[in-house]
Structure formats: C-alpha cells, structure tokens
Amino acid sequence: MRKEITELIDNIKQHSDELTDKPHIPQLELELIVSKIDLLYKKSILFTHEYSRSRQAPAETIKPDTEKGPEKQGPVQHPIPVRTYPDLKSLIGINQRFQFTAELFGGSAEALNEAISQINASKNKEEALQAAAELKARFGWKDDSQAADDLIRLIVKKFE
C-alpha cells in the first residue's frame, strides 16, 4: 500500500509539472489531477486505518456490551445514498448532443456514441477522465474548448 501511495504522489507531481508552463490549464487536465488527489486521499485513509490496526496489541479486542438492552440503543444510522448516473447519455441534453457531435467529434454521431459507451464502461471517475484525455488527443480538442469543458463536467457528475 505504501508503494502505491508513493507512486500516486509521483504521478500527481509529474502531471502537475507538465502543466506548469501552460498559460491555461484545461478542465480535463484539472479534473484528472483532482481525481488522482481524491484517490490518494482515499488510499491514505486506508493506509492509516491499517497501520493503526497493526499497531494495536492482540489483547485489545473490543468486547460487545451484553448488558445493553434495546431501550439503550441509539437511533439507527442510515448511510446517505450516493446518487450516480448509470448512463452518461442521460446527462447530455439534445442541444449539447449536437454541440458535442459538431465541435468535439468532427460531426460524427457514431464517434460520440462510441465515446459515451467507453466512458460508461469506466469503473471510476479517474478511468473515465483518462478515457476523455485519450479522446481529446485523438480528436484534437482545444484546451480552451467550452464544449470539452462541458463534457468533462458531465463525466464528473456521472461519478459523483
């Protein structure tokens, strides 16, 4: 786990160093770095938890309180449901669909549909943003493209 964290830190630094001389940081690049930072945060929490567990003595096990009756139990805690969008297509309005097709995919609706399928198949936000970065290179999206920024925002929203 420690090696993964170190590699992720190095990757974030390398990625940010590549953007140092650019006058404008593209939304896609920024979202990709933020996604990596989020992953680093989650891994550091897991690492801290595992480290603290390994430092506990085996004799320090927690025993259940058998004297606690139902009248002493607190309210049931329900996790906050995470709202996800299973299909990126459902987030794209009709006007955006035409805009993305024309400005990002060279007028090819088929290319847009393939891109949506590829992003929908992504397991997490980082993987989806990496796919978007590959699409940017493949189709030559400009760094200051509003349409590209809008698509990236929708991708991020899909995984929030």
Q: Where are the beta strands (DSSP E) in the chain?
A: none
* Region for 154 from its dihedrals, namely left if φ exceeds 0, alpha if ψ lies in -120 to 50, beta otherwise: alpha
Q: Count Cβ atoms below 10 Å from residue 74 Cβ, excluding itself.
A: 5
How does pLDDT run across 82-118, given as a tens digit for each residue?
A: 455 678 888 899 999 999 999 999 999 999 999 999 9
Predicted confidence at residue 8, as pLDDT, reads 79
CA distance 94 to 114: 17
Residue 7's pLDDT band, with cuts at 50, 70 and 90, is confident
pLDDT(64) > 60: no
pLDDT, the chain, mean: 80
Residue that wins the pLDDT comparison between 51 and 80: 51
CA distance 69 to 149: 55
Residue that wins the pLDDT comparison between 52 and 143: 143
Helix (H, G, I), strand (E, B) or coil at 158: helix
Cβ burial of 97 (10 Å; 0-12, 13-18, 19+) is middle
How does pLDDT run across 8-63, given as a tens digit for each residue?
A: 788 888 877 887 777 877 888 888 888 888 888 887 777 777 766 666 655 445 55
